[in-house]
């Protein structure tokens, strides 16, 4: 989810949990299409920008247990950033995950179980075992992120794997802009009442706690109630514009180890210098 969508979703969740009057039937990015869908509060961004915030752009290393899902196409089991490396072994019995450093769901290290790792191959769930896998079973080497199967994987289909990473990058994203709030009702006075209630809620202290990481918000403009629209739902609409600053943490597994390749080592023991 983009930071823009995350902000709008957070605002919608906050407003939906309030007792507004008249009570909106919907709060979000969808315009009402029929009179039966009124009243409605429609949220959108009039303006937006993503300013850089200095050192926060580089991210910081976090340890714990980050849930992650990898979807691997068996027809082309390669990473976009490294298409030369196949995630499936030549005998098709081993599958290398995009990340190493897997941990249990509580962040501890050790053998993985069903609560720590789930695997489906072409829609069929596989049971996670610690020993040699049998039919519809899979074993895992969590340190390097390699799965081992009893039978060769097909050359087509999708493998979906969910797992937990013990280390990842946390980066801060910031969003500045203008939030547009349209209150759509069947009557003009209802549009005024609902718009005032929404603006008051967004400017009040409750918004700072409910809309996580909302740094600031202020009213830019508050319009009049428009005439009924020509097409259904023929709503009376009032628009408020609010300037805001918002930020969020984005967890990405850049520091989780990545794909760990096998590197051949050739010993050269007992050969004298120059010999």
Q: What is the mean pLDDT of residues 34-55?
A: 90
Paired with 17 in beta bridges are none
Residues ≥6 apart with Cβ < 8 Å to 219? 199, 203, 240, 241, 242
Residue 182: exposure state from Cβ atoms within 10 A (0-12, 13-18, ≥19): buried
> Which of the two residues, 260 and 223, has the higher pLDDT score?
223
pLDDT category, 265, cuts 50, 70, 90?
very low
Confidence band, pLDDT 50/70/90 cuts, at residue 258: low
**Is beta strand 26-28 parallel, antiparallel or unpaired with respect to 137-141?**
unpaired
**pLDDT range class, residue 53, cuts 50, 70, 90:** low
Can you list the domains of the chain with their CATH numbers?
3-55+171-253 (3.30.2000.10), 59-169 (no CATH)
Residue with tokens 């937006």: 48
Average pLDDT value for residue range 103-128: 96
| Mean pLDDT confidence for 235-247 | 97
At 183 the pLDDT is: 98
Q: Which two tokens stand for residue 8?
A: 């709008």
Q: Over 70: is that where the pLDDT of 94 sits?
A: yes
- Look at residue 273 and tell me whether its pLDDT is greater than 60: no
What are the beta bridge partners of residue 161?
A: 70, 119
User: Is the pLDDT assigned to residue 54 strictly greater than 70?
Assistant: no
Coil/strand/helix, residue 195: helix
How confident is the model over 129-170, as pLDDT tens digits? 999 999 999 999 999 999 999 999 999 999 999 999 999 888
């Amino acid at each position: 989810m983009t930071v823009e969508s995350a902000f709008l979703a957070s605002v919608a969740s906050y407003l939906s949990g309030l007792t507004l009057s008249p009570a909106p039937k919907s709060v979000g990015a969808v315009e009402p299409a029929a009179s039966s869908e009124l009243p409605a509060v429609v949220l959108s961004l009039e303006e937006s920008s993503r300013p850089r915030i200095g050192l926060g752009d580089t991210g910081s290393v976090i340890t714990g247990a980050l849930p992650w899902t990898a979807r691997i196409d068996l027809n082309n089991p390669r990473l976009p950033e490294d298409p030369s490396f196949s995630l499936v072994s030549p005998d098709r019995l081993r599958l290398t995950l995009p990340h190493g450093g897997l941990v249990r769901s509580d962040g501890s290290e050790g053998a993985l179980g069903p609560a720590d790792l789930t695997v489906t191959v072409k829609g069929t769930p596989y049971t996670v075992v610690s020993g040699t896998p049998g039919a519809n079973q899979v074993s895992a080497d969590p340190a390097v992120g390699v799965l081992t199967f009893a039978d060769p994987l097909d050359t087509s289909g999708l493998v979906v794997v969910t797992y937990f990473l013990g280390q990842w990058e946390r980066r801060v994203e910031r969003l500045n802009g203008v939030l547009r709030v349209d209150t759509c009702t069947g009557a003009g006075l209802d549009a005024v009442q609902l718009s005032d209630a929404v603006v008051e809620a967004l400017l009040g202290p409750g918004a700072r706690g409910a809309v996580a990481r909302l740094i600031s918000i202020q009213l830019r403009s508050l319009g009049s109630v428009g005439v009924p629209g020509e097409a259904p739902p023929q709503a009376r609409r009032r628009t408020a514009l609010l300037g805001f600053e918002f930020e969020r943490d984005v967890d990405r597994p850049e520091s989780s180890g990545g794909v760990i390749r096998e590197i051949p080592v050739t010993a050269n023991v007992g050969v004298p210098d120059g010999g």
